[in-house]
Amino acid sequence: MVYYLIVCRSLTYAQRTAAVLERVGITAHILRSPKVIAGEGCGYSVKVAQRNLSDALRILVQAGLGPKRVFIMESDGSYKEVLL
């Protein structure tokens, strides 16, 4: 299955992002961003399924929690940034 990682600027924002999505029925998991994505320092991301991405982004923008960046997590373990 293909997943997307919504990169957040802090753990607090990742928690808020996941909470907003869970309230509307979208499964969201908080995880540390892989080094490939985070670069220097540690970052947090929220993982959502491909089928939920467009709804998730719309809901997050409405809630004032627009994502910093979004990456696709492919089945082979690689990541590619998605331009919004």
Confidence (pLDDT) at 76: 82
Q: What is the pLDDT of residues 28-72, one digit of tens each?
A: 999 998 887 876 666 899 999 999 999 999 999 999 998 888 999
Beta-carbon contacts of 74 under 8 Å, excluding residues fewer than 6 positions away, are: 2, 80
Burial category of 16 from C-beta neighbours within 10 Å (exposed 0-12, middle 13-18, buried 19 and up) = middle
Predicted confidence at residue 37, as pLDDT, reads: 80
Tell me: pLDDT of 27 over 80. yes
Highest-confidence segment of 43-47, 73-77, 80-84: 43-47
Domains of the chain in start order, with CATH, are 3-82 (3.30.70.1530)
Instruction: Give residue 41's pLDDT.
Output: 61
Task: Judge whether 73 and 3 are in contact, CB under 8 Å.
Answer: yes
